Amino acid sequence: MIARLLLSTTMLVSLCAGSALAAEAEDESSTLGEVVVTAQKREQKLQDVPISMEVVSGEKLSDFATNDFKQMVKFTPNVSVETTAGNDTIYIRGFGSPPANFSFDQAVSLYMDGVYAGRNRQAQAPFFDLARVEVLRGPQGALFGKNTPAGAVSIVSAGPTSSFEGSVTALYNFNLEGPEVSGYVSGPITDKIGARLAVKLLDQDGYIKNRATGHDDPGNKMALARLTLRFAPTDDFDYTLKTEYSDRQVKGGLTVSSPLTASQNPHKTRYLQQSALGPEGTEATSWLVSGTGNLSIGDFTLTSVTGYSFFRSNIINGFDQSVPNGNGAVTPNSVYNSYPEHFRQWSQEVRLLSPTGQKLEYVVGAYYDTALYQLTQLGGFNIASLNYFGLLNTEFRQRSQTLSAFAQATYHVTDQFRLMGSLRYTTVDKRGHFFGRLLYGPFALRPVSAVANGKINNEDNWDPSITAQYDITPQIMVYATYGRGSKSGGFVSNTYGTTNATFIYKPEKSENLEAGVKSTLADGRVVLNVSIYDTSFKNLQVSVYNPTISTYQTGNAASATSQGIEGSAAFYPAKGLDFTVAAAYQDAKYDNFPGAACLATQPITQCNPAVPASIAANNIKGAPLPYTSKFSFSAQGHYRHEFGNDMALDTTVAVHGRSKYFDSDNESPLFGRQKGYAKLDARVQYGPTDERWHVAVVGKNLTDELTTGSAFNLPAPITAAPRAILYLEETRSVAIEGGLKF
């Protein structure tokens, strides 16, 4: 199948090349230019890299006031984010690590300036003053290594400049009723030292009216700063030190109540007072430090990347949303929880790059990290019908250590044909401890008191890949690749009643077959890229909610597969006018999943969630993976009109969307299915052609599409009235922006 699709795609690109090359270039400014990436540990042109990937520039992220991963992934089809009260999770090609089990390593790993950040809060709000974001689809185990069976996201911040410059941008969002201010100063301190300081401040209300408090939830307050120093005493050595600080406070939640018996139709109101554990929301502080040194040894380059990461956070959630009775009294919130977290990590990578332009080019290296993670869980209940009043508590602690070695070699068989092989060996050690108890009050819904201890010793993984590249012409490259990825096993961190028998889950492994075409045509006016893939997972790590026993079931699914096609195109027909579009189709499903929690579509005679034997015999083979759409896309058009007085008007219109998908664990066709949608964004900017200042109007989700990131069933007797809880994504917003460069 892959060979046939690749042949068809190559023929299509060749035909497009013929017509595109017939067009004459009117202006060199209407071309793509070279996008440089570091996806293979050395600087390369994007069009030369045999990986299905999307690159989002820092400028594009800034233009649309992108503050989190949920807003970023709208530029990257086949990439999505599951929004929950705990950790948001990134999915690529249908695969990700569910956020319900907090200790999961992520199947899509983040890298901040080369430093591995496998937990969401290590990079809470990194989208300011960036050079670019590289999104790599498919297993990246050979070069990125650490837990990338589904893909990787590499975030590269902007560095010091050779001359002094600076910028400040201020924005006021009318819908969120608050400002956002960002800026930087950059330049040389001496002839050997450069510096860059970037800051971002945000203080905005939310988009859901909480009728109990009168506040618009979730309010968002951020203070971010990044200091970069670059020391280059000679042409043969440089060292860059980056220190990033983040403080984020979220006031209120983003859940709304909805019927269980109707399709999703979320509204923008909620009624939820403060829980017994304190005000609902999140407080998180993080530090991320990276040091990158490059030393030239003849024609070789030795690179060292040292990282330190720390965060401390607390999430407080309330779920049961009630309304006042006739006397104005309100039934107390019946279910609430909080999750204080603490994390720190040290990492070190060393790699040696051979010179380019040789028959054989290679990179070899080694990586080490050690980390400590601590999680406290407090679960409160106030169930008058059962006379349950009390508080549950679990404590989890994990120490981990990773050591790996890797190599990649490229052999130039001819000037047009290249063979590439990669291999990474990783060994992981983990120690975990779990303790659960009932702090006070009676409780009989599920086991609470428990102790579990576990060790994972010398868990070894080998992740190879092999790629063939061929240049049909200097402008058209085709490739085919096979690669494997892996994610380490671990421990169940926050499920009540966990014992030694249920504490440890196994590692998951992935395999990927991929083929693609990358082409730059018509003197840079047309770019066409297409890839097809077949990705399979074994021992897929899952954690799903069972409302009958009101707990999460965490472990390994047997296997799952995602097959699809991804494509992107850019077209520059005239000076000042450009279009870009990206789209993806995928079919992601479980190949075999024995012992799965019951799906909403299964009759009770087939699977009874209250009967363990029924669940043990259940197999949801053929069911689609949750949070996965068949089709997703993004498109953008930009036009720049320059007036005769050295002034310019820039207009950008962008649309992104996806087809329907299940966003509840039980895949309910009613409350658990988000219908397909398309969202419209726009930006109109006016200012001088040298852009020393500008004013702009920025609109996001202008048609006010109400969509949800996830959903679950809040059952009786946890709540007096069973209901669905929906996590509402950001609604329409319009802002005015002004900026100054110097």
* Ranges of H-type helices in 516-631: 612-616
Nearest in space to 101 (alpha carbons), one of 116, 84, 117, 115: 84
630-645 pLDDT, tens digit per residue, is 999 999 999 999 998 9
Topology annotation, domain 2-343+350-741: Maltoporin; Chain A (2.40.170)
Residue 621 reports pLDDT greater than 50: yes
Distance, CA of 622 to CA of 635 (rounded, Å): 32
The tens digit of pLDDT for each residue in 177-186 reads 999 999 999 9
- In the chain, what are the domain boundaries? 2-343+350-741
Judged by average pLDDT, the poorest of 5-19, 329-343, 614-628, 712-726 is: 5-19
Looking at per-residue pLDDT, the higher value among 15 and 128 belongs to 128
Tell me the two tokens of residue 207: 């988009």
- For 81-132, write each residue's pLDDT tens digit: 887 766 778 999 999 998 889 999 999 989 999 999 888 777 766 789 999 9
State the SS3 of 706-721: CCEEEEEEECCCCCCC
- pLDDT greater than 60 at residue 259: yes
pLDDT of res. 595: 87
Please spell the DSSP secondary structure of 471-514, one letter per residue: EEETTEEEEEEEEEEEE--EE--S-TT--HHHHEE--EEEEEEE
pLDDT, tens only, 658-700: 999 999 989 999 999 999 999 999 999 999 999 999 999 999 9
pLDDT band at 20 (very low <50, low <70, confident <90, very high): very low
CA–CA distance from 26 to each of 158, 355, 522, 570 (Å)? 32, 38, 11, 17
Tokens of 29: 């400014």
28 pLDDT higher than 80: no
What percent of the chain stands above pLDDT 70?
A: 92
Residue found under tokens 């503050």? 67
CA distance 78 to 583: 8
Higher pLDDT, residue 35 or 331: 35
The pLDDT assigned to 17 comes to 40
Structure tokens given for 114: 């080369």
Within 8 A by CB and 6+ apart from 356, the residues are: 42
- Average pLDDT of the chain is 90
Q: What is the pLDDT of residue 4?
A: 47
Name which of 70-74, 302-306, 455-459 the model is least confident about.
Answer: 70-74
Amino acid at 546: N
Task: Say if residue 408's pLDDT is above 70.
Answer: yes
**pLDDT tens digit string along 535-569?**
999 999 998 876 666 677 788 988 999 999 999 99
Burial class of residue 738 (count of CB atoms within 10 Å of its CB; 0-12, 13-18, 19+): middle
> Measured between alpha carbons, how far is 366 from 403 in angstroms, rounded to an integer?
8
Predicted local distance difference test score (pLDDT) of residue 332: 60
Query: Of 136-145, 149-158, 247-256, 287-296, which range is least confident?
Result: 136-145
Per cent of the chain over pLDDT 90 is 73
What's the pLDDT score for residue 273? 80
CB 25 within 8 A of CB 347: no
Assign 331 a pLDDT band (cuts: 50, 70, 90).
low
Give the E-state strand segments of 541-612 in sequence order: 541-546, 551-556, 559-574, 577-592
When pLDDT is averaged across residues 345-361 and rounded to a whole number, the result is 96
pLDDT at 547: 66
Give the per-residue pLDDT at 728: 95
What distance lies between CA 142 and its chain's CA centroid?
A: 20
How high is the pLDDT of residue 393?
95
**Pick from 314, 297, 200, 295: which is nearest to 250 by CA?**
314
Q: Is the peptide bond before 547 cis (omega within 30 degrees of 0)?
A: no
Contact 591, 561 (CB under 8 A): yes
pLDDT greater at residue 717 or residue 36: 36
Q: Answer for the pair 146, 404: CB distance below 8 angstroms, yes or no.
A: yes
Q: Say yes or no to pLDDT of 327 above 60.
A: no
Calculate mean pLDDT across residues 587-610: 91
Q: What is the mean pLDDT of residues 701-726?
A: 88
> Which pLDDT does position 346 carry in this prediction?
97
pLDDT tens, position by position, 121-142: 777 667 899 999 999 999 987 8
